[in-house]
Structure 1
Amino acid sequence: MKVWFSIVVGAILASTALAQTTTCSQTNPCKVGCCGNGGISTNAFICGTGPTFCGPGNCTTNCDYKAECDPGGWGSTYAEATTCPLNVCCSPFGFCGTTAEFCGGHTVPEPHCTGNSIAGRIVGYYEGWSTTKSCQTMTPDQIPLGVYTHLNFAFASIDPNTFRIVDEDATSGKFYTQLTALKVKSPGLQVWISVGGWSFNDPGPTFNTFSTLAGNVFAQAEFFASLISFMATNGFDGVDLDWEYPVAPERGGSPADLANYPSFLRNLRNAMNQSGYKFGLSITLPSSYWYMRNFDIVAIDPIVDFLNIMTYDLHGTWDGTDPFIGAVALAHTNLTEIQESLDLLWRNNINPSKVNLGIGFYGRSFTMSNPNCLSAGCPFSGGANPGPCTQSSGILSAEEIRDIVAAGGATQTLDPVAGVEIITWDSNQWVSYDDETTLGLKVDFGNKFCLGGMLIWAVDLDDLNGTSINALASAMGKPPSTVYDFKNFKFHYGAERILPPSSKKRSVIPGRFAGRIGA
């Protein structure tokens, strides 16, 4: 569930200033806007938008540039759209954003609460590839239970030719019923299947599968039948769709996705309701305006049970190619930026009780360019050294980070405003992550805004003692988790709550449909 995050609102904010102050010429065109005289007869040209910069007689280069929105009277010749997506403000220069420069004195009411709403729903994603790591693996029966209300198996895939549910890889399928069997020991636990994921929309066979599926009712019929059978057979209680991302051409999307996605979800909901099973439905949401603008969240909201907003991976090594951020180390989670993301929901009257705040049980890591500059905002030269178990530069699991701290020699710095810990070690290694202190800050933040829950990526990036999930439980006032011994347990599978054989009030044949969920 990676998010290649771009602070587009911040980028646009910078570009509005650049567009009105940057000089240009025929040999030095504008990066943003038209090169024009602003409607004044002069040989001095600067970058700008609208008819006074882009119109005939005023413009010298890049004259076909269109602003994002129309601040008033420009028309389609000079603006891509009349208004901004997601009820975002249109600045006087035709750019979309949410800060005072865009919105003037207009503010959006924020929800405020004093309770413990965020403790109501804790959704943990389990990576189907967890056992392929060289160390610090976690099988489903090793997951600490008692704090999670939902476990999502990540991921199942979709055959791009038949549109039927298939295993993501050759090994993950054997873990489906191992995960759903955990309901034996954790009463009330729901186990869902998550379909898609970041890699699903990488260039390849499934690059545009979601987009095709959303626009084709015949493909949907095949998908719905396959999904419902798959969930019933394996004992899943619901489905989470992780489409990253509709409309975005670099992610296999098309413009029609904006309208097709809500229609697709509505059809899916109807099919599940008519199946005789009580399946749940959720989707993931990006935290960036750049991608979220392509979700009709107003239409989607009443269809789904809840929304998982991926408020992590805000920054990483990919920032090095972003012209507005650059190769500087920034925390992958930041409460200030998260609040800006939630603003997009409040602008559209999304009920906060349906929103799950994204938390990462991992950190994004960097190798810093200068050992004497190790704070946030200092330059990096690349990803940090790979961890012994994740074995990927630029990311470390929570367990790997705790091992680094325990080894001694690391410096830990709390950023209370961002709500994140920064660890530096070995003179040039840097990682941001959440510990018991910052998890507490995020719980307080979520409760302040009345959020209905949290999503965790990922359950198996914690240790077998549940150090991270227990820290989160403590912050929410919940008892710690428990790890059970399943060695001598026998399980029955089906689309209802799974109970030990001695507790069964009627016989259930393993592998067969076991009646309606909740029956």
Structure 2
Amino acid sequence: MYIGSQIDKTSAGDVLDGFSDRIGQGNGQRLAVQTCSATNLSSSQYFGVAVADTDGLAAVQDALRSWNEAQCVDGDSKTAWSGPELSTYVCCSPGDPPDFSPQPNSDGTCSAYTIKSGDYCQAIADAHSMTVEDIQDCNRNTWGWQGCGNIFLGMKICLSTGRPPFPAVVPNAVCGPQVNNTEPTSDVSGWADLNQCPLKACCDIFGQCGITSDFCTPNPADTGNPGTAQPGSNGCISNCGTDIITSGRPSTFERIGYYEAFSVERPCDHLSVGSIPDRYTIDFKKETRFKKIVSFGGWEFSTAPSSFDILRSAVKPENRQNFANNVAKFVQDEGLDGVDIDWEYPGAPDSQGEPIPIDSPDSADNYLEFLKLLRAALPSKYSISIAIPASFYYLKAFPADQLGDLLDYFIYMTYDLHGQWDYGNTFTNPGCPNGNCLRSQINQTETESALSMLTKAGVDSSKIMLGQPLYGRSFKMTDPGCYTAACTFTGPSSGAQPGNCTGTPGYIANLEIRNIINGGEYDVQQYNSLEAGDILVYDGNWVSWMTDSTYDRRSDYARGLGLGGTSDWPRSRLRLLTTGRT
């Protein structure tokens, strides 16, 4: 017999009485009884009795040695103890037992428990005089509760009735109640709306913001609890849905066309002033058939080491009034109809792949304050607009709803959705670990997500000009015979063939594309789909672009949504289209 120091001797005697009865019944030549559990940490918690005939003396000695070393004894067969479990309460007198389970707190909150390593519901229930069913019942409204089969380290759960505990912090969460330093509230129904995403983007159960269906589709677990999702999905807790919110049709559907003043620097595709015949009289500012709007900025101006700081400095508090006055004066003195600013992008969270310092987060708000001053300085008959990205990553710094109340329209750059910069980016293309899959720069699904993002942010749909690229994004195909969305392009630098005029690998004007198609020099293949638009394949190059029919189809799509119009970038790289007006 082995009795550990922590075993109650009276209880041991009771067990011995029962064991003696079994021996008296002649149940075999070798018998043993023991208290044995993986939770017994030392020999002091072990109790055991072993009996055998003379041939089994060695087995008895082995059993005693095992108990002394805090190990269980195995046998040919065993009968589990059917009485009370160790560490459970039993009645020693008539009457109902008291309730030893945790009770609600005086403030109405439940008795909370934080999941530790190795925890599971049965063990938690045993340790707190509860059943697994009790735990399930106590957590019908607990944040993140997906049932006993899916508890995780650090999770806070209820072990009593009462208001559930405020959710535990998730270190990398940027939205929802689990963001670090969030002030707990007692309004359980309002927890999902805490720390909302910029632009009213969707927040998933992991506290991450996004605008696609992965982030925006509520998909609660079978428990139906808040903060849960079905396995393999992100769920959504706030600002869910991807609908495009329309706000009434505009009085006219406009078409805006950009002309690149720097196109004169190209070796072709431009008209030199000296080549214009004398019979033509040129006076652009006297033209009344279209509005004349000065636009400044652009990608290179915004990101080149020699010029990136101009706009950043101009909108600072000490400079912006003077900047606004100068812009307003120029527009009026030159007889123009408005001004458009293309800053790419204020408050960007990275250097945008260029050798420049990361911008200050204050720049987006500084931009807003400057535009307020410009609006005050420029009479309402003059339009003010800005270009904005169709990427949540870069648009999230913009106070879009406030800008929407201030501006006449937005140039929404719903193109360049994919390009050479995708190479090596794990997250840019779903199902493409290296990012370098051949994807359209005007992908329809992504265009719809971008429009949903901007209209959900509070921008009037009639103030959105859908961006229409009059150029192609080109790639060098890894395998010249593989041109679908699962195929890849080379990198990291572009290996695409540059155009004769544009001279930039990865960027080719529509005029150059048409010359390739019609020139007879290459064996060309052309594909078209509603999702991708037009694809040209030639000489190992893959080009995403738009034919006139695709352009018209996207324009009709914009008109049907009640958008303000379309914006062509750039008119200076295309023979004039015959549809619409400029």
Given the two structures, how large is their TM-score scaled by the length of structure 2? 0.59
CA contact (8 A) 1:71 1:92 kept: no
Structure 2 residue aligned with 1:102: 215
Structure 2 counterpart of 1:272: 378
Against the structure 1 CA distance between its residues 138 and 85, is the aligned structure 2 distance closer, same or farther, given a 3 Å change threshold?
Answer: farther
Point out where structure 2 has 5 or more consecutive residues left out of the alignment. 1-113, 120-143, 145-150, 156-168, 185-191, 219-239, 352-357, 430-434
Whole-angstrom distance in 1 between the partners of 2:371 and 2:547: 36
Q: CA deviation at 1:203?
A: 4.8
Deviation (angstroms), 1:353: 1.1
Per-residue CA deviation, residues 484-513 of structure 1 (Å, 9 max, x unaligned), is: xxxxxxxxxxxxxxxxxxxxxxxxxxxxxx
| Equivalence for 1:423 | 536
Q: Contact between 1:411 and 1:425, CA under 8 Å: does it hold in 2?
A: yes
Q: Among 389, 392, 410, which residue is 2:501 paired with?
A: 389
User: How much has 1:434 moved relative to structure 2?
Assistant: 0.5
Residue 363 of structure 2 aligns with which residue? Answer: 257
Per-residue deviation at 1:333? Answer: 1.1
- Are 1:108 and 1:346, in contact at CA under 8 Å, matched by a contact in 2? no
Query: Which residue identity does 1:445 align to in structure 2?
Result: Y
Q: How many angstroms does 1:204 deviate by?
A: 2.1
Name the amino acid aligned to 1:446. Answer: A
CA contact (8 A) 2:244 2:448 kept: no
**Does residue 201 of the first structure (1) align with residue 302 of the second (2)?**
yes
Structure 1 match to 2:424: 321
Distance 1:113 1:246, change over 3 A: closer
Contact 2:384 2:408 in 1 (8 A): yes
d(CA) in 2 for partners of 1:213 and 1:322? 33
> Alpha carbons of 1:66 and 1:139: their partners in 2 closer, same or farther (altered >3 Å)?
farther
Instruction: Please give the residue correspondences for 1:340-351 in structure 2 after superposition, counting only pairs within 5 Å.
Output: 340-351=449-460
> CA contact under 8 A between 2:559 and 2:565: conserved in structure 1?
no
- 182 and 376 in structure 1: CA distance in 2 versus 1, 3 angstrom threshold: farther
For residues 53 and 234 of structure 1, the distance between their equivalents in structure 2, rounded to whole angstroms, comes to 66
- The corresponding residue for 1:367 is 476
In structure 2, the residue corresponding to 1:417 is in which secondary structure? coil
The separation in 2 between residues aligned to 1:225 and 1:114, in whole angstroms, is 34
Task: Give the counterpart of 2:205 among 88, 92, 99.
Answer: 92
Q: Does 1:225 align with 2:339?
A: no
Q: Shift in Å at residue 248 of structure 1?
A: 1.4
Residues 141 and 182 in structure 1, CA contact (< 8 A), matched pair in contact too: no
Equivalent residue, structure 2, for 1:173: none
1:425: how far off? 1.0
* Greater mean deviation of Cα atoms: 333-342 or 65-74: 65-74
Cross-structure match for 2:313: 212
Q: Which has the higher contact order (CA 8 A, sep 6+)?
A: 1
The amino acid across from 1:306 in the alignment is Y
Name the structure with the higher strand share: 1
The residue number in structure 2 matching 1:410 is 524
1:389-444: CA deviation from partner (whole Å, max 9, x where unpaired): 111111110000001111242111002223x1100012x11101111221122012
Structure 2 counterpart of 1:330 = 439
Partners of 2:463 and 2:153 in 1: CA distance: 44
Give secondary structure in 2 for the equivalent of 1:129.
helix
| Matched residue, 2:556 | 444
CA distance in 2, matches of 1:231, 1:132: 25
Whether the aligned pair in 1 keeps the contact of 2:246 and 2:455 (CA below 8 Å) is no
Indicate the larger mover: 312-321 or 256-265.
Answer: 256-265
SS of 2:292's partner is strand
The residue type equivalent to 2:195 in the other structure is T
Secondary structure at the aligned position of 2:259 is classed as strand
1:189 deviates by 1.2
* CA 327–398 in structure 1, closer or farther in 2 if over 3 Å, else same: same
CA distance in 1, matches of 2:501, 2:179: 58
Q: Provide the residue aligned with 1:238 in structure 2.
A: 338
**Measured at CA, do residues 96 and 249 of structure 1 come closer, stay the same or move farther in structure 2, by a change above 3 Å?**
closer
Are the equivalent residues in 2 in contact too, given 1:194–1:242 (CA < 8 A)? yes
RMSD: 3.6
> What corresponds to 2:37 in structure 1?
none
Query: Structure 1: where are the runs of 5+ without partners?
Result: 1-37, 44-49, 57-62, 144-176, 482-519
> What one-letter code is carried by the residue in structure 2 that aligns with 1:91?
D
* 3-state secondary structure, aligned to 1:190: coil
Letter in 2 for 1:311: T
**Contact 1:113–1:447 under 8 Å retained in 2:** no
CA contact (8 A) 2:179 2:207 kept: no
Q: CA deviation at 1:188?
A: 3.8
Q: Which has the larger radius of gyration?
A: 2
Contact 2:246/2:460 (8 A) holds in 1 = no
TM-score by length of structure 1 reads 0.66
Q: Is 2:258 the counterpart of 1:182? A: no
Q: Matches of 1:188 and 1:339 in 2, distance apart?
A: 32
C-alpha separation in 2, matches of 1:364 and 1:228: 36
How far residue 269 of structure 1 moved from its aligned partner, in angstroms, is 0.6
The answer on whether the counterparts of 1:200 and 1:207 sit within 8 Å (CA) in structure 2 is yes
1:295 aligns with 2:436: no
Question: 1:397 is aligned with what amino acid?
Answer: A
Match of 2:309, as an amino acid?
A: N
Of residues 276, 301, 304, the one that matches 2:407 is: 304
Is the 8 Å Cα contact of residues 179 and 195 (structure 2) preserved in structure 1? no
Q: Distance in 1 between matches of 2:296 and 2:179?
A: 44
Q: Is the 8 A contact 2:117 2:153 kept in 1?
A: no
Counterpart Cα distance in 2 of 1:329 and 1:140: 41
Paired residue for 1:488? none
Q: 1:301 to 1:320 in 2, by over 3 A?
A: same
Residue 220 of structure 1: how far off its partner (Å): 1.8
Give the residue type in structure 2 aligned to 1:208: D
Listed one character per residue, the Cα deviations across residues 345-401 of structure 1 (whole Å, up to 9, x for unaligned) are: 221232111110001110000110112212233111143111111111111100000
Structure 1 residues 433, 104: CA separation in 2 closer, same or farther (over 3 Å shift)?
A: closer
Query: Which residue does 1:507 correspond to in 2?
Result: none
Q: How does 1:39-118 map to 2 (within 5 A)?
A: 39=115, 41-42=117-118, 65-71=171-177, 75-76=181-182, 82-105=195-218, 106-107=240-241, 109-111=243-245
Partners of 1:134 and 1:249 in 2: CA distance: 36
Identity of aligned residues (%): 32
Alignment-mate amino acid for residue 89 of structure 1: C
Question: Equivalents in 2 of 1:364, 1:344: separation in Å?
Answer: 24
Q: CA offsets per residue over residues 241-295 of structure 1, 9 Å max, x none?
A: 111111115355212223322221111110123xxx8422001111000111111
